[in-house]
């Protein structure tokens, strides 16, 4: 937001500070394209998977990005686990899905004929996007 606009239209004492602070928080939010909490959780789940099945972290991530339907991450195998993951990180997941225009796709074309399945498909897609951020 243009500082001149703030000074011109903010007449009450303290309003300028509040508007600048609000503007700054919005700009920080827009500039922040990472989701450290979600990415760290996925990293720990991948490490758990590697501990059980063996392999290297980098190779696992590359394989998952290449074909997420055949590679399973420990703690995100069952639909119920994926749904719990969605409930825990729904705001971040929804932001990522919005960024990749997931909500513009027709649910029936995704193979989803119910809300629960749509959430699972979307969450799995977001997990792929978060994995790309690693």
pLDDT tens, position by position, 8-35? 555 555 666 776 776 666 555 544 457 9
pLDDT value of residue 111:
92
Which conformational region is residue 67 in: left (phi greater than 0), alpha (psi within -120 to 50 degrees), or beta? beta
Q: Same structural domain for residues 41 and 26? A: no
Mean pLDDT for the chain? Answer: 86
Q: How far is 42 from 68, CA to CA, in rounded Å?
A: 14
Q: Same structural domain for residues 18 and 75? A: no
pLDDT value of residue 37:
95
Which residue range is the domain that position 58 belongs to? 36-132
Residue 16 burial by CB count (10 A; 0-12/13-18/19+): exposed, middle or buried? Answer: middle
* Spatial contact of 111 and 121, defined as CB atoms under 8 Å apart: yes
Into how many domains does the chain fold?
A: 2
Q: Same structural domain for residues 53 and 76? A: yes
């Amino acid at each position: 937001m243009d500082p001149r606009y703030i000074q011109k239209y903010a007449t009450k004492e303290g309003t300028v500070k509040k508007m600048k602070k609000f503007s700054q928080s919005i700009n920080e939010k827009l500039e922040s394209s990472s989701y450290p909490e979600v990415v760290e959780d996925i990293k720990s789940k991948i490490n758990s998977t590697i501990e059980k099945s063996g392999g290297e972290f980098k190779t696992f991530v590359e394989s998952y990005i290449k074909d997420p339907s055949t590679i399973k991450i420990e703690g995100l195998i069952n639909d119920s686990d994926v749904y719990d993951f969605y409930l825990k990180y729904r705001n971040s997941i929804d932001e990522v899905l919005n960024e990749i225009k997931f909500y513009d796709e027709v649910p029936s074309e995704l193979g989803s004929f119910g809300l629960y399945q749509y959430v699972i498909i979307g969450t799995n897609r977001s997990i792929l996007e978060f994995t790309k951020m690693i």
